[in-house]
Structure 1
Amino acid sequence: MHDEAAYPPGPWRLRGDLLVSVLRVPPHRVAGLDAALPAGHRPLTVRGHGFVGIAMVRYAPTGMLTYDELLVAVLTHERHVPRVTIPQIWVTSPASRAGGRVLWGIPKELASFAWAGGSQVRVEARDDDGAGIARLTARVGQRLVPGRVAVPLPTAQRRPDASTVRAHNTVTGTLRRLAVRWDLPPEGPLGHLHGLRPIASAAVVDASIVFGRRVEES
């Protein structure tokens, strides 16, 4: 054991709902990206802007772990092979924090989450000191496509010892419209995204997530 909390071995099979937005951001503006990006990997850019996902996730008791999560993910590539690199992420579970760091090099930190509302969801995430990280107001709408959609989500992370860990992951769920408002305090850890408008948003509901089906380290 390499961390303070016990965690299940990979792959993790989780269930939950994801509220996701995509932003266009110059990569140099993304906090923590240099430390998280493995050697040989680069942000995928168009006209100097990269693509950054920000998501609130609630993992259900029907999966291996139950917790809440807020993450920032950057679309990257290794010799034109697309991947995702996560420079910032917060969770409510010490087991998820420990496992994410040890198994896949994902720099998880602990935070608290407050969820409220019915048809209109309101979520607030705060760090261990009680400072605000993000507030989300969201309304999930009608189905975007028939049936369930499977999305590959391969991650590539740089560990503190500069080694690289790649994990092959999949998210499968029902894709629905999402109307969102993100409030990111400019003085907080997501202040580098403050004021940016999403170019697209969607909810993935009743999702099945398989994380770490195959792991490669170098």
Structure 2
Amino acid sequence: MYLSLWLVRRAELPPVAPGTRHLTVAGRGLVGAAWVVYENDSVLHYNELLRAVLVRDGARPRVCITDIWVDSETSLAGGRALWGIPKEIAIFEVQRSDGVSCAAKTGGGTLAAGRYTERGSLPGRWPLAFKLAQTLDGRIKTSRVRSSASLRPARAEWTAPADSRLGALGRRAPLISITLRDFELRFGG
């Protein structure tokens, strides 16, 4: 996983699941975007590009995936049916040489492109747990997410056409970027 985070003004935050609200501090919200390459021991092998926002479900902090594309029909169907994740299909290019470069396109054109260059590594494996809030069958569906990974700070460059739903990501450098190596990810339960 290749993850970047931005602090974004409230007026530029993407729409979130009905029943949730953007979690903001001093008029800014936290937006994350990631390229994910599921391979090796993954149940499915596919690529993914997503954007997510930190939200509130009542007083509880949650994460809401606002935009997501995959190159797997099976992943698309499962994500929508099980968790209310609004997956769409895209075509991906992933190149690994002196870092990683990713690009995603749909019939409507380029969504975004990104390049990550790792800058060292942090010792050990890092756990992360949170709850996802999506809309499923007209109601908020909350799903527990647990993960762990080896973390590597990275330098990231994102570009996106102005007419892409991800156009705002290319306007400024990310606040922070990391590579999550050998990550494990579990939904539900």
TM-score bin, normalised by smaller chain: over 0.9
1:177 aligns to what?
A: 153
Cα RMSD over matched residues? 1.5
Query: What residue in structure 1 maps to residue 133 of structure 2?
Result: 156
Letter in 1 for 2:126: V
Following superposition of structure 1 onto structure 2, how do residues 117-196 of structure 1 map, counting pairs within 5 Å? 117-127=96-106, 129=107, 131-144=109-122, 146-159=123-136, 161-196=137-172
Q: TM-score, normalised by structure 1?
A: 0.82
Question: Residue in 2 aligned with 1:50?
Answer: 29
| Equivalent pair of 2:13/2:29 in contact (CA under 8 Å) | no
Q: Sort the Cα spacing of 1:96 and 1:198 in 2 relative to 1 into closer, same or farther, 3 A.
A: same
CA distance in 2, matches of 1:82, 1:199: 20
2:178 aligned partner: 202
Q: TM-score, normalised by structure 2?
A: 0.94
Q: 1:115 aligns with which of 69, 94, 105?
A: 94
Q: Summarize the alignment of residues 39-118 of structure 1 with structure 2, pairs less than 5 Å apart.
A: 39=19, 41-118=20-97
Give the Cα separation in 2 of the matches to 1:189 and 1:45.
21
Q: 1-side partners of 2:40 and 2:99: how far apart?
A: 22
Q: Unaligned regions of 5+ residues in structure 1, if any?
A: 1-17, 214-218
Please list every run of 5 or more consecutive structure 2 residues that lacks an aligned counterpart in the other structure: none
SS of 1:62's equivalent in the other structure is: coil
Q: Tell me the distance in 1 between the aligned counterparts of 2:38 and 2:18.
A: 28
Greater relative contact order (Cα < 8 A, sep 6+):
1
Residue by residue over 1:69-91, the C-alpha shift from the partner in whole angstroms, topping out at 9 and shown as x without a partner, is: 00000011223322100110000
Does the CA contact (< 8 Å) of 2:51 and 2:65 recur in 1?
A: yes
Alpha-carbon displacement from aligned partner over 1:94-138 (angstroms, at most 9, x marks no partner): 1111111110011000001101132221111111x1610011111
The whole-number CA distance in structure 2 between the counterparts of 1:193 and 1:121 is 18
Contact 1:58 1:68 in 2 (8 A): yes
* Corresponding letter in the other structure for 2:118: V
Q: Deviations over 1:31-77 (max 9, x none)?
A: 3x2xx4231x2211111110000100101141111110000000112
Identity of aligned residues (%): 35
Which residue in the other structure is 1:216 paired with?
none
**Aligned-pair distance for 1:188?**
1.4
Range with greater deviation from structure 2 (43-52 or 115-124): 115-124
